[in-house]
Structure 1
Amino acid sequence: MVKQVKDKSEFDQLKSADKVLVVDFTATWCGPCQRIGPKFVEFSSLPEFASLEFIKVDVDEASDISAACGISAMPTFQVFKGGAKVDELVGASDEKLKALLNKFA
């Protein structure tokens, strides 16, 4: 399951939690974001990624979160562990996204 997060305090709480957090920074007007979005949701439901927390952040609805994370292109996927960013992927590649998730599963 993928949770939509719009509140920076909720985002900060999730990224500091024990679980590895995977964030999809997206926008409704972004074609590549819309293409890979369903794949992100699909990956979130796979047993091999059950240890990961998946969230989406719309850069227009939560510009404070995207600005704090330095987002300049979409889609951008960031991985947080213990409050710190540990990895990032920019672009809509299913294969690269799955490889990123496998590194932390």
Structure 2
Amino acid sequence: MAVIKATDSDFNDVLNANQNVVVKYYADWCGNCRLFSPKFKRMSDDEQFTNIAFVDVNAETSPEARKLAGVTNLPFFAVFKGGQLVDTIAASKEDAVRSLIHKLDV
């Protein structure tokens, strides 16, 4: 599945349209964010995650979406189930993000 690009204007719509969502918060200047992008795309194509929406949010241009997850560092990941925040992690390791995704019980 393609990674969805979301902004403050459509972030809540994306959360409401998908039962399970993992969000990657990034900034254009963040090197680790850029390095993680291909891993995030690969995870979005992983068959075990077919019922999860993968979303990219620019933390600098979407302050409301950033506040919903309490972003403290970049890259920052959050999982939402039924529109509600489940858990977050600031990490650049794929294993840590996969562990976070598994908290969605899918």
For normalisation by structure 2, the TM-score amounts to: 0.87
Gaps of 5+ in 1: none
RMSD: 1.5
Mean Cα deviation higher: 72-81 or 9-18: 9-18
TM-score by length of 1: 0.88
User: For residue 25 of structure 2, what is the aligned residue in structure 1?
Assistant: 25
**Aligned sequence identity (%):** 29
Q: Which amino acid aligns with 1:96?
A: A
**1:64 Cα deviation after fit:** 2.7
Aligned to 1:4: 5
By relative contact order (CA 8 Å, sep 6+), the higher-ranking structure is 1
Structure 1 letter corresponding to 2:90: V
Tell me the residue number matched to 1:73: 73
Q: Which runs of 5+ in 2 are unaligned?
A: none
Alpha-carbon offset, residue 26 of structure 1: 0.5
d(CA) in 2 for partners of 1:68, 1:22 = 13
Query: Is the contact made by 1:75 and 1:90 (CA closer than 8 Å) also made in structure 2?
Result: yes
Q: Distance in 1 between matches of 2:18 and 2:70?
A: 23
Task: Give how far 1:77 is off.
Answer: 0.6
Q: Tell me the CA shift for residue 79 of structure 1.
A: 0.5
Q: Give every structure 1 segment of 4 or more consecutive aligned residues whose post-TM-superposition deviation is greater than 4 Å.
A: none
Shift of residue 63, structure 1, vs aligned partner: 2.2
Cα deviation, residue 18, structure 1 = 4.5
